[in-house]
């Protein structure tokens, strides 16, 4: 299984969707597509789309299922602690 990851904001939303559709059309093996939405508009648009896009809490792992997240806002100067 392949794993593809990208990030974009609402200015590149159509390019991100086009990338997903291209992979779905041409990738011969099962894959998961992860998108980090850099703004609320991109996240809202992806949550409203059908096309096999699911939330990160989805247990489905079949080919083409997409997971996407939005970063949490943090105050300037705050430390980010990764697990």
For residue 58, pLDDT beyond 50: no
- 44, two tokens: 């809202």
Phi, psi of 12 (to 5 degrees): -115, 15
Q: Is the pTM of this model over 0.85?
A: no
User: In the chain, where are the structural domains located?
Assistant: 1-32+39-54
Q: How confident is the model at residue 57 (pLDDT cuts 50, 70, 90)?
A: very low
How far apart are the C-alpha atoms of 4 and 28, rounded to whole Å? 14
Query: When comparing pLDDT for 30 and 71, which is higher?
Result: 30
For 62-66, 68-72, 74-78, which range has the lowest pLDDT when averaged over its residues? 62-66
pLDDT by residue (tens digit) across 11-33? 999 999 899 889 889 999 988 88
The radius of gyration computed from the CA coordinates of the chain, to the nearest angstrom, equals 14
């Amino acid at each position: 299984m392949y794993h593809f990851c990208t990030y974009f904001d609402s200015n590149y939303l159509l390019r991100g969707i086009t990338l997903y559709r291209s992979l779905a059309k041409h990738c011969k093996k099962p894959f998961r597509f992860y998108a980090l939405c850099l703004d609320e508009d991109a996240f809202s648009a992806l949550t409203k789309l059908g096309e096999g896009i699911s939330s990160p809490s989805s247990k489905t792992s079949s080919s083409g299922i997409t997971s996407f997240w939005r970063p949490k806002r943090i105050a300037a100067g705050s430390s980010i602690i990764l697990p």
